Structure 1
Amino acid sequence: MSNLAELSVTALKGVGDKFAEVLAKLHIATVQDLLFHLPLRYQDRTRITPIAALLPGVDAVIEGEVRAADVVFGRRRSLIVRLQDGSGTISLRYFHFTAAQKSRFARGARLRCYGEARRGAAGLELYHPETELVDTEAPATPETLTPVYPLTEGVSQARLRGLVQQALALLNEGGVSELLPTELLPQSMRYPLGAALQYLHSPPAGADLAQLAAGVHPAQQRLALEELLAHHLSLLELRKSSSAIAAPPLPANEALERDFLARLPFALTGAQQRVCAEIAADLARGRPMMRLLQGDVGAGKTLVAALAALKGIGAGAQVAVMAPTEILAEQHRRNFSAWLEPLGISVALLTGSLKAAERRSQLAAVASGAAQLVVGTHALFQPEVVFHNLALVIIDEQHRFGVRQRLELREKGAASGATGRLQPHQLIMTATPIPRTLAMSAFADLDCSVIDELPPGRQPINTVAISNDRRDQVMERVQGAVADGRQAYWVCTLIEESESLQAQAAETTASELAKVLQGVRIALVHGRLKPDEKERVMNAFKAGDVDLLVATTVIEVGVDVPNASLMIIENPERLGLAQLHQLRGRVGRGSIASHCVLLYGTPLSQNGRARLQALRQHSDGFAIAEEDLRLRGPGEILGTRQTGEIQHRIADLQRDAQLLPQVQRIAASPSLGADLRHQLIARWLQNKPRFAEA
């Protein structure tokens, strides 16, 4: 019997070294990793539905004969295929298609299709359904629900499903250890681990789809408990190791801070002053600060971070500021430079897209200590980055980074003192609201501060929800805003698909808008652009050389253009409320009234309608988080998982809050020995920084 935690994924049929590199992007290196790569959702393809019995908004399998296939030129070029069975006729609509695809749909061909029925201009339609040609002998429908997995470019659903089936065959022979002693598990959680994995990859035809979508099936809860426990144990280890080491005390440099505050055109809010005092008390001590700073979009977290940075710089040490994207890193560099360079403080930037000569120069400045504040992305982790005396690390958008990455940056170290190697302090910032009870449980290694007050003068954002049927009116609104000298964003969302299809959808939208909006300067930004090209586009937008920025959700954080007063978010029902709130926060940054248009697809589910209504009613991120929790239904898990807000593989900190007391009880049990603790952490967190949030 093989230990699947040590069996390389290359042991599976069809996985060579090259494809293993692709799977590594999904943090799959072993067969056990593959088994723990769980489906996002499920499709019921176990029965064929007559066309006449289809319901709008419901996924279904249909089978019929092609009666016609024509390319139609409307507002958007599309391929329309008419499919007929004995009960009725339906249209299949494709916006992105090739000549080869069109030729498959020959008149008389028999097709089996899977997709969601929607109301179209001429009755029900299926948009981009999955199709297969059916011979005279129709293939049998599957006996289990069909899993839909998180993907990366170069991996298809069909290929991943085939690999998982091979892994399940190995699982049946054993090879995945039960690490939790049965007596530590509550009665309802005593679901064998192997059986839970088997069930979640291949639920039987009669499985409760709503229960699975809500994440509350006993098999899911069994895995969620173990994952939360591993996460909690890793954080306890982190806090234990932090409290045992020394950090450089950073007393206030009052003259420097007084000079800084005197140059600001505004006063700090009461909440900012309170949080600054909490941070100052931490930094003055001789052990590492580990503080989580929460604050809504626009609450002034960056200013608090700058004051914290002055403590390190004022004590003669270096400070590092880490951001998840180059756009956000560049934004921070601009802000910190504007604030600190007049005080004689040198600011450096380290990102992956720097040219070789500039990179060498910046690395030398960091190593010598000439660069007192260093802003960067993941590039700060690289071995060639050597700090002179790093005393404080500030991490923005903490949910994008993992425990492992935080540890790596901490290990960059600070100075060497008489008592041995000192560790830098850490300030971790997030605009994603986390209920305090969950923060205390799920962020066991961190103290928490909250900026719960917005600066005066911030303009409220008027949010409206408009059906896609009125798309033309929304375009007119964009034209009007640009005519008034304002700038706008148009955000395209596409779920589950690869980055290339997201880019393709954004390109199609940009092209469509360019045809309609006369005299409007349009630019496009998405995840597949090279970093320097992305930066060029963003700089042009900031400089006012671009009127309308068409983007994927890559602009969620790190864009600050006060003249941008209008945001259009296409298909907002596909995103989680927290991410929609983050996107909306890109406007309302100047002194003019701003607007956010939620351009939703129809039909809109009751849950989707309630969520968009919540976004219209609330401007406070913490209130939105509570609404998100109250409204969370089966579809919400899908929405948040696919946008990356849930960073665990299966656990959800809000949904599974009731498991946290069990997690803490098990973590404190003496019968959970050190060896089991390390194995649990390795299973869930090792080599998977994306899921190891801290």
Structure 2
Amino acid sequence: MASLAGDPVTQLRGVGPKLAEKLAEAGIHRVEDLLFHLPLRYQDRTRITPIAAVREGDDVVVEGEVRIADVAFGRRRSLVVRLQDGSGTLTLRFFHFSAAQKNALQAGTRLRCYGQVRRGASGAEMYHPEYRRVEEGESSVEDTLTPVYPTINGLGQQQWRNLCGQAVTRLRGAAPPELLPPLADFPIGLVDALSFLHAPPPDAPVAALRDGEHPAQLRLALEELVAHQLSLQDLRALQQREGAPALRQGEALLQQFLAGLPFSPTAAQQRVIGEIRADLAEPRPMLRLVQGDVGSGKTLVAAAAALLAIASGYQVAVMAPTEILAEQHRRNFSAWFEPLGIAIGWLSGRSKGRARSQALAAIASGEAGLIIGTHALFQEDVAFQRLGLVIVDEQHRFGVHQRLTLTEKAGAEVGRPHQLVMTATPIPRTLAMVAYADLDCSVIDELPPGRKPVDTVLIDNKRRDQVVARVAAACSSGRQAYWVCTLVEESDVLQAQAAEATAEELRTALPQLRVGLIHGRLKSAEKDAVMTGFKAGELDLLVATTVIEVGVDVPNASLMIIENPERLGLAQLHQLRGRVGRGDTASHCVLLYQSPLSRNGKQRLGAMRASNDGFFIAEKDLELRGPGEVLGTRQTGLMEFRVARLPEHNHLLDRVQAIAGEIQARQPQLAGPLVRRWTGSSQRYAKV
């Protein structure tokens, strides 16, 4: 059977070079691409509603005769058309119109209109409805639900409906091939699923379509998720094809390091170190994600991996998303590694002049065995002598491309360096299966002994004075506290101003306390000095923006106030809460919210109060905010599916892994066409 896979869109009626260029912007190059450009939702235009029966908020089709069309002058000039059908009168209002449009809407013209009904000064109205002239004797309405397609500037819904309609018409004669193994338990095949979703019948179950649970949607979602899984596994194979240094030295150095610690690693840490040791010994790149809850000891695991690489004669790069976290790593690794004679390099965006030149020279010569920094590490002028291991902290803050760019700096004779990526934001298993299918996953599912759960309470901002008194009581007993200011705006300037105002307010209210302030606008040395002072006990209360979300470890801090927590996602709130509860004293987190709370806000803050389990929090966050938000803005490209939805389609993921494995083992020739079908020319990572 012939296929549409190779037919360019220019074969369709009405598609010339200009329209083809516009379609290419939306990733549409072939007729088959239009079949997989699926509707976002549907409108019901299959029945005409009498004007007398329309209700405010309804999306309806009405038909009637124009009684009058005139320009009304008020706060905004508008074209007002009165439409009458024998049962009542409806006003059509257009704020953008032309003289030709007004002239075409003469009294006596019969129109069929579709739009949302509003309540206006003169009764029921529609703003800018879709409409067309109805000829004498014409009575038929749409015989299917009307699709609403994703679009770009310059392409209207009518164009999409026309083009996709042409593609569906050609579907029966030149169907795209089935690329999945036979699915006996799916009641609908590929061709029927595509035909149905582009033009559902009037009696189609609208609720199931809205929720993504119709069998046609599930059939295509399954295929799309399989294609996504295969594309990430292709990326993994591409990276591992180049080989990596087998790092088999360092056992003695690792044992020396562990013996010098004032505590013993947990069983979970030892298990994950063992998994990493086995990976590093292989002549192919380790690609491993380590996730664990706040305070589970991921940094110690990273240090163990770094020692194995350094003892084998290779350099290690540790990349963190913020200077504060990078500086925290520098302090920890320096305390651990300098007694072992390991030189540490430092590079951030603020490294300038002579300091930067010296750092670059130490990295290039191999003098620095461990190099810690921010995104500055993958800038063009940074050259490593022998980069054998890349450790990326808070992976979700970086895009996949950024991580892979750093691994390209290893040098031709090294191959690909091993990769260890870490996150303190627990990722739901279902999401990890999709977003990190190119990585092996290790979970540190045990907290160090003595860690107490943090007691979390919700307090209305109207009781702010009581919260201030609570801070005074905690600090007067020798404990320390955080006060975190949050703003919706991403602006460092506005966040800094809010934190400064709060710090001033608290200094006035609590003159007996030593109050510090930290925000993103401070210079690196200033932030370092404030954090060092707080850690040393020279400050009682630290007012901060969310820059302290990760990496700050002050065991004496036992109280955290988070102002306006309803503005933050659950994962970020959980990260902030993790800054307390690091000592042996009972710790508390106060969520000082602004009432009234939205329904979503109540659910999020209720989850925080109910549980300290990061994986429970992550599942709830996924349910409430969706995968793009949970993974972080830099990762959202991973989750831009056409049909598949998470978490609604989580139940398909075990099946997806099984099918992807079957294709790779038995029908590898299907993998390429399947990935191309769903990712088109933008196969996301293989070019990196």
Shorter-chain TM range is 0.5 to 0.7
Label 1:181 to 1:567 Cα distance change in 2 as closer, same or farther (>3 A).
farther
Counterpart mapping for 1:13-28 below 5 A: none
Deviation at 1:607, TM superposition (A): 5.8
Deviates further, 478-487 or 585-594: 478-487
Taking the aligned partners of 1:623 and 1:507, their CA distance within structure 2 comes to 34
**Hey, what does 1:309 align to over in structure 2?**
306
Deviation at 1:484, TM superposition (A): 3.8
Deviation at 1:224, TM superposition (A): 6.7
Label 1:607 to 1:407 Cα distance change in 2 as closer, same or farther (>3 A).
closer
**Hey, what does 1:470 align to over in structure 2?**
463
Taking the aligned partners of 1:463 and 1:250, their CA distance within structure 2 comes to 44
Deviation at 1:283, TM superposition (A): 1.3
- 1:597 partner amino acid: V
**Hey, what does 1:383 align to over in structure 2?**
380
Counterpart mapping for 1:417-496 below 5 A: 421-436=414-429, 439-440=432-433, 442-495=435-488
**Hey, what does 1:504 align to over in structure 2?**
494
1:620 to 613, 619, 622: 613
2:323 to 298, 321, 326: 326
Contact 2:385 2:410 (C-alpha < 8 Å) held by counterparts: no
Counterpart mapping for 1:152-191 below 5 A: 164-166=152-154, 168=156, 181=176, 183-184=178-179, 187=188
2:451 partner SS? coil
2:272 to 275, 289, 305: 275
Structure 2 residue 357 is the aligned partner of structure 1 residue 360: yes
**Hey, what does 2:115 align to over in structure 1?**
none
Label 1:608 to 1:530 Cα distance change in 2 as closer, same or farther (>3 A).
same
Label 1:414 to 1:386 Cα distance change in 2 as closer, same or farther (>3 A).
same
- 2:672 partner amino acid: A
Label 1:626 to 1:680 Cα distance change in 2 as closer, same or farther (>3 A).
closer
Contact 1:576 1:636 (C-alpha < 8 Å) held by counterparts: no
**Hey, what does 1:514 align to over in structure 2?**
504
Deviates further, 383-392 or 233-242: 233-242
Label 1:174 to 1:356 Cα distance change in 2 as closer, same or farther (>3 A).
farther
Deviates further, 280-289 or 650-659: 650-659
**Hey, what does 2:552 align to over in structure 1?**
559
Deviation at 1:592, TM superposition (A): 3.1
- 2:557 partner amino acid: A
Label 1:171 to 1:328 Cα distance change in 2 as closer, same or farther (>3 A).
farther
2:456 partner SS? strand
- 1:473 partner amino acid: Q
Deviations 1:247-275 (A, max 9, x none): 21112423322321222111111111121
Deviates further, 486-495 or 263-272: 486-495
**Hey, what does 1:648 align to over in structure 2?**
639
2:357 partner SS? helix
Deviation at 1:603, TM superposition (A): 3.4
Contact 1:442 1:653 (C-alpha < 8 Å) held by counterparts: no
1:569 partner SS? strand
Taking the aligned partners of 1:168 and 1:192, their CA distance within structure 2 comes to 24
Deviates further, 172-181 or 524-533: 172-181
2:442 partner SS? strand
1:412 partner SS? helix
Taking the aligned partners of 2:606 and 2:476, their CA distance within structure 1 comes to 30
Label 1:662 to 1:346 Cα distance change in 2 as closer, same or farther (>3 A).
same
TM-score by length of 2: 0.66
Label 1:345 to 1:139 Cα distance change in 2 as closer, same or farther (>3 A).
farther
Deviations 1:77-107 (A, max 9, x none): xxxxxxxxxxxxxxxxxxxxxxxxxxxxxxx
Contact 2:399 2:634 (C-alpha < 8 Å) held by counterparts: no
**Number of paired residues?**
550
Deviations 1:304-344 (A, max 9, x none): 11011110111111111111222111111111111001100
- 1:677 partner amino acid: V
Contact 1:574 1:639 (C-alpha < 8 Å) held by counterparts: no
Deviations 1:167-193 (A, max 9, x none): 556756869999994745874987999
Taking the aligned partners of 2:363 and 2:195, their CA distance within structure 1 comes to 50
Label 1:682 to 1:549 Cα distance change in 2 as closer, same or farther (>3 A).
farther
Structure 2 residue runs of 5 or longer lacking an equivalent are: 1-8, 12-16, 29-33, 42-54, 59-119, 131-150, 181-185, 201-205
Label 1:361 to 1:615 Cα distance change in 2 as closer, same or farther (>3 A).
same
Taking the aligned partners of 2:332 and 2:546, their CA distance within structure 1 comes to 23
Deviates further, 601-610 or 474-483: 601-610
Taking the aligned partners of 1:644 and 1:243, their CA distance within structure 2 comes to 24
Taking the aligned partners of 1:569 and 1:688, their CA distance within structure 2 comes to 42
Structure 2 residue 594 is the aligned partner of structure 1 residue 596: no
2:356 partner SS? helix
Taking the aligned partners of 2:244 and 2:177, their CA distance within structure 1 comes to 41
1:392 partner SS? strand
Structure 2 residue 239 is the aligned partner of structure 1 residue 234: no
**Hey, what does 1:110 align to over in structure 2?**
none
Deviations 1:493-515 (A, max 9, x none): 444xx413x85366346425523
Taking the aligned partners of 2:443 and 2:686, their CA distance within structure 1 comes to 28
Identity %: 55
**Hey, what does 2:575 align to over in structure 1?**
582
**Hey, what does 2:251 align to over in structure 1?**
254
**Hey, what does 1:63 align to over in structure 2?**
none
Deviation at 1:361, TM superposition (A): 0.8
Deviates further, 576-585 or 651-660: 651-660
2:410 partner SS? coil
Contact 1:347 1:372 (C-alpha < 8 Å) held by counterparts: yes
Taking the aligned partners of 1:371 and 1:359, their CA distance within structure 2 comes to 13
Counterpart mapping for 1:523-538 below 5 A: 524-526=517-519, 538=531
2:558 partner SS? strand
2:313 partner SS? coil
- 1:480 partner amino acid: A
- 1:648 partner amino acid: M
Taking the aligned partners of 1:509 and 1:197, their CA distance within structure 2 comes to 52
Deviations 1:3-27 (A, max 9, x none): 9xxx99xx99xxxxxxxxxxxxxxx
**Hey, what does 2:371 align to over in structure 1?**
374
Question: For the aligned residues, what is the CA RMSD?
Answer: 5.0
Deviations 1:549-584 (A, max 9, x none): 444433322222333322122333444433322111
2:410 to 407, 413, 427: 413
Label 1:224 to 1:260 Cα distance change in 2 as closer, same or farther (>3 A).
same
**Hey, what does 1:98 align to over in structure 2?**
none
Taking the aligned partners of 2:537 and 2:161, their CA distance within structure 1 comes to 61
**Hey, what does 1:125 align to over in structure 2?**
none
Rg larger in 1 or in 2? 2
Label 1:194 to 1:395 Cα distance change in 2 as closer, same or farther (>3 A).
farther
Deviation at 1:431, TM superposition (A): 2.0
Deviates further, 401-410 or 511-520: 511-520
- 2:387 partner amino acid: L
Structure 1 residue runs of 5 or longer lacking an equivalent are: 13-28, 50-133, 145-162, 200-206
- 2:405 partner amino acid: E
Deviations 1:362-410 (A, max 9, x none): 1110110000001122212112111111111111122222332232222
2:242 to 241, 245, 249: 245
Contact 2:230 2:671 (C-alpha < 8 Å) held by counterparts: no
Deviation at 1:357, TM superposition (A): 1.6
Label 1:313 to 1:585 Cα distance change in 2 as closer, same or farther (>3 A).
same
Contact 1:353 1:532 (C-alpha < 8 Å) held by counterparts: no
